[in-house]
Amino acid sequence: MKKTITILATLALVALAVSCNKSKDEYGYTIKDNQIVYNTPARPADQQSMLGFACDPIENVRVGFVGLGMRGPGAVERFCYLEDATIVALCDLYPERVESAQQILDRHGIARAAEYSGEEGYKELCAREDIDLVYLAVPWQLHTPIAVYAMEHGKHVAIEVPAATSIKECWDLVNTSERTRKHCMMLENCCYDFFELTCLNMIQQGVFGDIVHVEGAYCHNLEPYWDRYQGDWRMTYNKDHHGDVYPTHGIGPICEDLNIHRGDKMDILVAMDTDAFNGQAMADKRYGEGAVKYANGDNTMTCIRTHNGKSILVEHNVVTPRPYNRMYQVTGTKGFANKYPNEGLALGSENIQFTAIDNLDAEEYMSDADRDALMAAYEHPISKGIAEKAREVGGHGGMDFIMDYRLIYCLHHGLPLDQDVYDAAEWSSLVELTEVSINHGSMPVVMPDFTRGEWNKLKGVNFALVEE
Ligand SMILES: NC(=O)c1ccc[n+]([C@@H]2O[C@H](COP(=O)([O-])OP(=O)(O)OC[C@H]3O[C@@H](n4cnc5c(N)ncnc54)[C@H](O)[C@@H]3O)[C@@H](O)[C@H]2O)c1
């Protein structure tokens, strides 16, 4: 009897240890003092940091595209305008989508590219010797496996957002990029929108003083699109997961504003979500009443505190009928910027004074004319000269073209890319970290440091330009 009790007690202790240390693997976490603490595994001896990494200049960047659904063909179209790039290969699960993309090249009078299709067509594409860069616009779950495969086969990679769906995948990207010395850039296009770029420049010139708080979001009613994702991948992912499953449009630009891993780092995260009101109704309609339990909350909020004492708020909502909003809000000691619904700047009212206790208008936005003049004066150096063409070529109003242009510009000139593999990992890490926080009743998460202690080595975000 005593022996049985001892065995049962031991088993209970083991079960408790397993539940408190959900994963003891090097990419997992333990729970200590009511905090979820992620491990930062040591860097293997055959790897080097990719901070500030630049490869030799590539005269003409030869590109292979994988994933030609709703997003991919737009990238193919934009690359037709980039002089220092050549479209060498096109790949999708379905040959007819490859054919449609070929027709984009036809319309531009450009030679047709090599074609690959099927689930493993990307492997043949990656085996080619004449490709420098693999550009991925496939479903989320395929981003990291294909990117890792491409880097292992000697290619730089550019990956649609989010680059990874788990902490393990984030480390896979970091480790593979560090070991192969290949660029791994996530295609976070929202970092290149005009308002965000100009604000970043203003922040770097001290216009807003010290930045104390930033906000970002992805609030986009996806109702018209759900049926169009290949194999229902997006709905499937949302239905199976809590958390901010699409955080990078919100977190990307504001991390640049805070110099994350270039002088500051994200330390602690707490996430909370609502129930899945519309989400569950949508799932009932789609899969049958009560057939599935829809996990993703209609609204998910994430708060993060940085090492230097700044705060970040990120939101995700893709199921309620509200106007598109990426929030983008910057609060500094001397000023404020806000993008949605109207772009506004406030630099502190000079004549702020007490009028009446219920006067809420003492602090106000500057006039539209003053804002426009200031925005023009602080246009970011990387959009100067390319803004007009970007607006003409398009892609979310031009930001997509600036992103692609910058990627090819940096590769062509052998410069560090604007976004490195640590950005990709940090911004994508929210996918798992928010889910884990929510699954533990909004428990704080000590975030992993993908730079492995080197977050203060670079000083400030820098968009490299060739010296005139
Ligand atoms: N940055 C942005 O603004 C933005 C906008 C839209 C989509 N995206 C991202 O782009 C990616 C693609 O989204 P989408 O809307 O085009 O989805 P989609 O479902 O329309 O397209 C995905 C494509 O990948 C193909 N595919 C699937 N498995 C493949 C495989 N093994 N090999 C090759 N191709 C394969 C599918 O056939 C499909 O054509 C997602 O990561 C999404 O988050 C980003």
Burial level of 24, CB count in 10 A (0-12/13-18/19+)? exposed
What mean pLDDT is predicted for residues 439-465?
97
Which atom of ligand 1 lies at the shortest distance from residue 228's CA? Answer: 20
Retrieve residue 219's tokens. 């609030």
CB of 76 sitting under 6 A from ligand 1: no
What mean pLDDT is predicted for residues 420-448?
98
Report pLDDT for 353.
Answer: 76
Q: From atom 21 of ligand 1, which residue's Cα is the shortest distance away?
A: 69
Q: Is the pLDDT of residue 145 over 90?
A: yes
Q: What distance in angstroms lies between residue 316's CA and the mean position of ligand 1's atoms?
A: 20
Q: What is the mean pLDDT of the chain?
A: 94
Task: Measure the CA angle with vertex 208, ends 206 and 213; round to 5°.
Answer: 120
CB 119 within 8 A of CB 427: no
User: What does the alpha-carbon distance between residue 44 and residue 46 come to, in Å, rounded to a whole number?
Assistant: 6
Q: Is the pLDDT of residue 222 over 60?
A: yes
CB of 256 sitting under 6 A from ligand 1: no
pLDDT in tens, 275-306: 999 999 999 999 999 999 999 999 999 999 99
Q: What distance in angstroms lies between residue 445's CA and the mean position of ligand 1's atoms?
A: 30
Q: To the nearest whole percent, how much of the chain has pLDDT over 70?
A: 95
CB of 160 sitting under 6 A from ligand 1: yes
Which atom of ligand 1 lies at the shortest distance from residue 71's CA? Answer: 16
Decide which of 59 and 384 is more confident.
59
Q: Is the pLDDT of residue 11 over 70?
A: no
Q: Is the pLDDT of residue 259 over 60?
A: yes
Q: Is the pLDDT of residue 203 over 70?
A: yes
Report pLDDT for 359.
Answer: 82
Decide which of 3 and 81 is more confident.
81
What mean pLDDT is predicted for residues 109-130?
98
Report pLDDT for 3.
Answer: 52
Q: Is the pLDDT of residue 7 over 70?
A: no
Band (pLDDT 50/70/90 cuts) for residue 16 is very low
What mean pLDDT is predicted for residues 177-193?
98
Band (pLDDT 50/70/90 cuts) for residue 13 is very low
Report pLDDT for 269.
Answer: 98
pTM: 0.94
pLDDT in tens, 40-68: 899 999 999 999 999 999 999 999 999 99
CB of 90 sitting under 6 A from ligand 1: no
Q: Is the pLDDT of residue 352 over 90?
A: no
CB 411 within 8 A of CB 466: no
Q: From atom 7 of ligand 1, which residue's Cα is the shortest distance away?
A: 71
Band (pLDDT 50/70/90 cuts) for residue 126 is very high
Q: What distance in angstroms lies between residue 333's CA and the mean position of ligand 1's atoms?
A: 41
What mean pLDDT is predicted for residues 418-434?
98
Report pLDDT for 26.
Answer: 83
Report pLDDT for 10.
Answer: 45
pLDDT in tens, 300-347: 999 999 999 999 999 999 999 999 999 999 999 999 999 999 999 999
Band (pLDDT 50/70/90 cuts) for residue 24 is low
Q: Is the pLDDT of residue 366 over 70?
A: yes
Q: Give the domains, in start order, of the chain with CATH numbers.
A: 61-188 (3.40.50.720), 191-351+360-384+422-446 (3.30.360.10)
Q: Is the pLDDT of residue 6 over 50?
A: no
Mean pLDDT is lowest, of 16-30, 56-70, 209-223, 424-438, for 16-30
